[in-house]
């Protein structure tokens, strides 16, 4: 009879440790998910990487003379106003030819392409875009000189656009 309490104690301990490990196992995906949401370098879709590579042709775009105005926090991802201004003389020799908007995490990476010419005089366009979730928006501007400009803007999205 002296052995009974000892055996009971062992069984209680093992059940407790079992419960703890079960709880930890259930929580770990949640913790990993929470950690991934907080990372400073957000993930980018494969489609974005492909679209980016095909537009830049492997060249490294420079981040100057291009201003992208997007809200820091978008309440509604269905309607996110975007204003793009490129500092350019817009002459025959030196003007903005095309502006591309790429999303890093929408179901489709290519959002829009705009074609400009010297008659525009000022390289400034406005539109409204969809954002499925919090992500970076990448804007590329192709100049007639062959140079490629880039701007990356992080937008936090409260309610995502792009459907389900």
Partner 1 sequence: MAARNPRFRLPKNAKVGDVIEVKTLIMHPMETGNRHDKYGKLIPRDIITTFVAKYDGSQVFRAEFGTGISANPYVSFKMRVPGPGVFEFAWTDEHGIKTVATAPLILI
In the complex, the residues that contact partner 1 under the rule CB under 8 A are 78-80, 101, 103, 106-108, 110-117, 119-131, 161-164
> Cβ 27 to partner 1, closest distance in Å?
31
Residue 52 to residue 36: CA distance in whole angstroms:
23
Least separation in angstroms between residue 36's CB and partner 1 is 23
Between the alpha carbon of residue 107 and those of residues 52, 81, 100, 133, the distances in Å are 15, 19, 17, 10
- As measured in angstroms, the least distance from the Cβ of 154 to partner 1 is 16
CB-nearer residue toward partner 1: 130 or 141: 130
**In angstroms, how far apart are the furthest CA atoms of the chain?**
101
Nearer to partner 1, 39 or 111 (CB): 111
d(CA 152, CA 4): 68
Inter-residue contact 136 to 68 (CB < 8 Å): no
State which residue, 106 or 151, has the beta carbon closest to partner 1: 106
- 12 vs 42, which CB is nearer to partner 1? 42
State the minimum distance, in angstroms, from the CB of residue 130 to partner 1.
Answer: 5
């Amino acid at each position: 009879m002296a052995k009974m309490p000892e055996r009971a104690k062992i069984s209680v301990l093992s059940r407790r440790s079992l419960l703890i490990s079960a709880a930890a196992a259930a929580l770990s995906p949640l913790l990993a998910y929470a950690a991934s949401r907080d990372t400073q370098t957000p993930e980018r879709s494969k489609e974005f990487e492909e679209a980016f590579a095909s537009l830049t042709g492997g060249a490294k775009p420079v981040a100057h003379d291009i201003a992208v105005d997007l809200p820091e926090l978008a309440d509604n991802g269905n309607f996110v106003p975007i204003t793009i201004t490129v500092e350019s003389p817009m002459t025959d020799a030196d003007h903005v030819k095309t502006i591309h908007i790429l999303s890093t995490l929408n179901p489709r990476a290519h959002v829009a392409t705009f074609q400009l010419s010297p008659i525009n005089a000022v390289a400034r366009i406005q539109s409204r875009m969809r954002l499925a979730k919090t992500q970076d928006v990448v804007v590329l501007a192709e100049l007639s000189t062959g140079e490629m400009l880039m701007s990356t803007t992080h937008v936090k999205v409260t309610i995502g656009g792009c459907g389900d």
